[in-house]
Amino acid sequence: MDTKELLKKVRKIEIKTRRLSDHVFGGEYHSTFKGRGMTFSEVRQYQFGDDVRAIDWNVTARYNEPFVKVFEEERELTLMLVVDVSGSEFFGTTQQFKRDVLTEIAATLSFSALQNNDKVGLLLFSDQVELFIPPKKGRSHILRIIRELLEFEPKSKATDISNALAFLSGILKKKAIVFLLSDFMEQGYDKTLRIAAKKHDLTGIRVYDKLEEELPNLGIVPMTDSETQQTRWIDTSSVNVRKQYAAFQSQRKEAFQQLFKLNGAGTIDCRLDESYVKKLLGYFKARI
């Protein structure tokens, strides 16, 4: 992709997703993520009705009268986008690949964070950490993130969610809002997810294609794994094969939702032919 074409695509996504963040998600994002905690502000004399747990005993002992610690909500947030760029994201039977939708969702969240004056960071992963951009503020920074989402070419086609979450837990020292965007076709990341969800406000956004739910009857067709490049011939005319496939995909979806729920994390399921706008908005409103 040449520079002119890239800038054109960046501008197109900016116009679309910034409008969404300004007119649809701005208020909901702000209301949903109000601040990551309370920071110490000052010490003042105890007043009737103050929580006794807030008493500063050192100052109280020094002045021989009760003083309490006053805290203020810490407004500045850090939004971290952890995006799967493995081979399976370059699939789609509609007008867009999964990676295209992941890019738009990430851009929409980024501009919502920008409107709230929050920092935004990006982690692209396959079975390795492909790119890490530290959290930072500003429109130019958001545009850089969009450029990378559009243009970045990963070294590997495989997936390792556990490795990405382990890197995230090691690199981010303070609590952040983390959106993990993937098709979640991998397993075995339970432990690192539990650690990340305990430390951060974590949400998994699963993007998938309708053909990943059930197979159409197309006869005997070749199917290639986009990550391993292995090809198998599948008899899609077999009712049993189609039932087994649908059951497997249903179990995979349920396992994703249950794992995140068990660890206190949120989930959003978004099919390529559905509106991710409605899914995000519904999720934000449900959390307010």
Whole-number Å distance between alpha carbons of 284 and 288: 7
Question: Do 277 and 252 lie in a common domain?
Answer: yes
Q: What is the mean pLDDT of residues 82-106?
A: 87
Question: Do 66 and 159 lie in a common domain?
Answer: no
Model confidence at 123, in pLDDT bands (50, 70, 90)? very high
Better-predicted residue by pLDDT, 12 or 23: 12
Q: Under a CB-based contact definition with an 8 Å cutoff, are residues 133 and 145 in contact?
A: yes
Question: Do 159 and 253 lie in a common domain?
Answer: yes
Residue in the block written with tokens 């998994």: 204
pLDDT tops 80 at residue 73: no
Q: How many domains does the chain have?
A: 2
% of the chain beyond a pLDDT of 70: 92
pLDDT value of residue 107: 92
| Token pair in block for residue 248 | 């497997």
pLDDT value of residue 27: 67
Out of 74, 95, 125, pick the residue that ends a domain: 74
Domain that residue 141 falls in: 3-32+75-287
Question: Do 144 and 226 lie in a common domain?
Answer: yes
Question: Do 107 and 118 lie in a common domain?
Answer: yes
**What is the CATH classification number for the domain harbouring 233?**
3.40.50.410
Question: Do 50 and 122 lie in a common domain?
Answer: no
Better-predicted residue by pLDDT, 221 or 267: 267
pLDDT tops 80 at residue 25: no
Question: Do 171 and 141 lie in a common domain?
Answer: yes
Find the Cα–Cα–Cα–Cα dihedral 23, 29, 30, 33, rounded to 10°. 180
Question: Do 26 and 163 lie in a common domain?
Answer: yes
State the DSSP string of the chain: --HHHHHHHHHHHHHHHHHHIIIIIHHHHHHH---SEEEEEEEEE--TT--GGGB-HHHHHHHTS-EEEEEEEE---EEEEEEE-SGGGS--SSSS-HHHHHHHHHHHHHHHHHHTT-EEEEEEESSSEEEEEEEE-SHHHHHHHHHHHHH---S-----HHHHHHHHHHH--S--EEEEEE-------HHHHHHHHHHSEEEEEEEE-GGGT-----SEEEEE-TTT--EEEEETT-HHHHHHHHHHHHHHHHHHHHHHHHTT-EEEEEETTS-HHHHHHHHHHHH-
Spatial CB neighbours of 208, under 8 Å, sequence gap ≥ 6: 98, 183, 269, 270, 271, 272
Residue in the block written with tokens 């110490």: 40
**pTM, rounded to two decimals:** 0.80
- Out of 162-166, 186-190, 201-205, pick the least confident: 186-190
Q: What is the pLDDT of residues 236-280, one digit of tens each?
A: 888 888 888 888 888 889 999 999 999 999 999 999 988 898 898
Question: Do 57 and 167 lie in a common domain?
Answer: no
